[in-house]
Amino acid sequence: MRNGSARRVAVSGLLTSLMLVLGLIERQFPLTAAIPGIKLGLANSVLIYALYMLGVKQSIVLMLLKALMSWLIYTNMQAMFYSLAGCTLSLLAMIALSRIKGVSVIGVSALGAVFFNVGQILMAVIMLNTPQLMVTYLPILMVVIYSFNSGRTIGSWQGFTTNWYSRLFSNALMADALKNSLVLAVVSSLLAGGIGTLGAIGLARSHLKLGGAVETIATLPMMIPELVLGMAYLSVFTAVGFKLGMGALVLTHTTFCIPYVFINVKSRLIGMDPSLSEAARDLGASPARVLKDITLPLIFPAVLSGMMLSAAMSLDDVVISFFVTSAETTTLPLKVYTGLRSGGTPEINALSTLMLGVIFICVAATQLITARSNAKLQ
């Protein structure tokens, strides 16, 4: 009896430590731009193991221990409440789902992750007194949930399945659209990175009297409605006889992605210490050497974060792509749009969920790079 109790205590301690380590890892990927204090919920995976291997009571104990230890270590009451709310709702959902026949561990894990975020959003609504968060985030979570629905009808849950994702990956048209979207995002973000960086450096060094006007022109694509931009691009391409398709998509996406890199790099250049470049020039370094050895390494995090944000915007675009694409070339956002016009299905929900995941990774990476680069400057 004593050995059994000692074993449970030891296992609880190890699992709590593992949850704290995972919590430490997720602190390196802050999501505070969405909701202050919210986390990814990586430690939630340990609760799944505890639920199936140790039972409900032990899972509840682990959840409470993790929340308490997080508060003691990080002294962040707000983060503790978010974690506790997310873990509680997630654990309740996983307990209920684990008792339903036919629901696999993967299904329990996936829906547990969804309910973890629902719990955090509910806590955010209470703590931040912002009910609009429900309107903003819950529809997105509903798309994720119904991507695992075995029925075709949206709004009627008929059981858990991952068949829609299997069908998605076996669809040749979807695979072609995915390839086009990835190529478009990579090429346009690389071009925007180069042009935006050179423009920001040139404007920062030139000290033009009309620098403000030039900066406004450089950021103009962000302020013009996409519908107007799409019609303008279509008119220009038609007038000059430029063929619509991948080439037109690359040109248009590069154009509206440049401001995201330009603004990032320019703000980084403003925060740089000019004495570094001046000292290098005093020591005989040429302008090209100063650019290569000092300026570019210091602004590289801003360039990279701007390119990541550009890739996310490219993957997300529908309106401009709609005007300049051809029948032979389509992208994932356009596939989602045409699929919704013919009636939404869980397959479209699955595609939307995957796109959401990719964009989330890009935005999270941008935040992480920016946060670390700002910390180095201080």
Bigger pLDDT: 299 or 211?
A: 299
Query: Is residue 161 a part of any domain in this protein?
Result: no
Q: CB count, 10 Å around CB of 303? A: 20
SS3 track for 106-134: HHHHHHHHHHHHHHHHHHHHHHHCCCHHH
Q: Are residue 142 and residue 176 in the same domain, yes or no?
A: no
> What integer pLDDT is reported at residue 34 of this predicted model?
45
Q: Are residue 126 and residue 191 in the same domain, yes or no?
A: no
Q: Are residue 136 and residue 234 in the same domain, yes or no?
A: no
Query: Is residue 48 a part of any domain in this protein?
Result: yes
Q: Are residue 24 and residue 128 in the same domain, yes or no?
A: yes
Domain range for 340:
169-377
Q: How confident is the model at residue 276 (pLDDT cuts 50, 70, 90)?
A: confident
Q: Are residue 123 and residue 215 in the same domain, yes or no?
A: no
Verdict on whether the full-model pTM lies above 0.85: no
Bigger pLDDT: 282 or 30?
A: 282
112, 146, 180 — which closes off a domain? 146
SS3 track for the chain: CHHHHHHHHHHHHHHHHHHHHHHHHHCCCCCCCCCCCCCCCCCHHHHHHHHHHCCHHHHHHHHHHHHHHHHHHHCCHHHHHHHHHHHHHHHHHHHHHHCCCCCCHHHHHHHHHHHHHHHHHHHHHHHHCCCHHHHHHHHHHHHHHHCCECCCCCCCCCCECCHHHHHHHCCHHHHHHHHHHHHHHHHHHHHHHHHHHHHHHHHHHHCCCCHHHHHHHHCHHHHCCHHHHHHHHHHHHHHHCCCCCHHHHHHHHHHHHHHHHHHHHHHHHHHCCHHHHHHHHHCCCCHHHHHHHHHHHHHHHHHHHHHHHHHHHHHHCCHHHHHHCCCCCCCHHHHHHHHHHCCCCHHHHHHHHHHHHHHHHHHHHHHHHHHHHHHHHC
Query: Is residue 158 a part of any domain in this protein?
Result: no
Query: Is residue 156 a part of any domain in this protein?
Result: no
Q: Are residue 211 and residue 341 in the same domain, yes or no?
A: yes
Q: Are residue 27 and residue 135 in the same domain, yes or no?
A: yes
- The domain total for the chain is 2
Query: Is residue 159 a part of any domain in this protein?
Result: no
Query: Is residue 153 a part of any domain in this protein?
Result: no
Q: Are residue 191 and residue 62 in the same domain, yes or no?
A: no
88, 114, 146 — which closes off a domain? 146
CATH code, domain carrying 87: 1.10.1760
Q: Are residue 113 and residue 178 in the same domain, yes or no?
A: no
> What integer pLDDT is reported at residue 172 of this predicted model?
82
77, 111, 146 — which closes off a domain? 146
Q: Which of 102-106, 130-134, 315-319, 368-372 has the lowest mean pLDDT?
A: 130-134
Question: pLDDT tens digit string along 61-79?
Answer: 777 777 777 666 665 666 6
Q: Looking at residues 287-300, what average pLDDT do you find?
A: 82
> What integer pLDDT is reported at residue 104 of this predicted model?
67
CATH code, domain carrying 188: 1.10.3720.10
Q: Are residue 136 and residue 191 in the same domain, yes or no?
A: no
> What integer pLDDT is reported at residue 84 of this predicted model?
72
Bigger pLDDT: 18 or 28?
A: 18
Looking at the chain, the whole-number percentage of residues with pLDDT higher than 70 is 73
Question: pLDDT tens digit string along 312-356?
Answer: 888 888 889 989 988 888 888 888 787 776 666 677 778 778 777
Q: Are residue 210 and residue 111 in the same domain, yes or no?
A: no
Q: How confident is the model at residue 36 (pLDDT cuts 50, 70, 90)?
A: very low
> What integer pLDDT is reported at residue 166 of this predicted model?
81
> Whole-angstrom Cα distance, residue 116 to residue 32?
16
What residues are paired with 149 via a beta bridge?
160
Q: Looking at residues 276-298, what average pLDDT do you find?
A: 81
Query: Is residue 77 a part of any domain in this protein?
Result: yes
Question: pLDDT tens digit string along 182-236?
Answer: 899 999 999 999 999 988 888 877 766 766 777 778 788 888 888 888 899 999 9
Please report the sign of the dihedral spanned by the C-alpha atoms of residue 205, residue 206, residue 210, residue 215: negative
Query: Is residue 333 a part of any domain in this protein?
Result: yes
> What integer pLDDT is reported at residue 226 of this predicted model?
84
What residues are paired with 160 via a beta bridge?
149
> Whole-angstrom Cα distance, residue 76 to residue 54?
29
**Amino acid (one-letter) located at 333:** P
Q: Are residue 250 and residue 304 in the same domain, yes or no?
A: yes
Q: CB count, 10 Å around CB of 235? A: 11
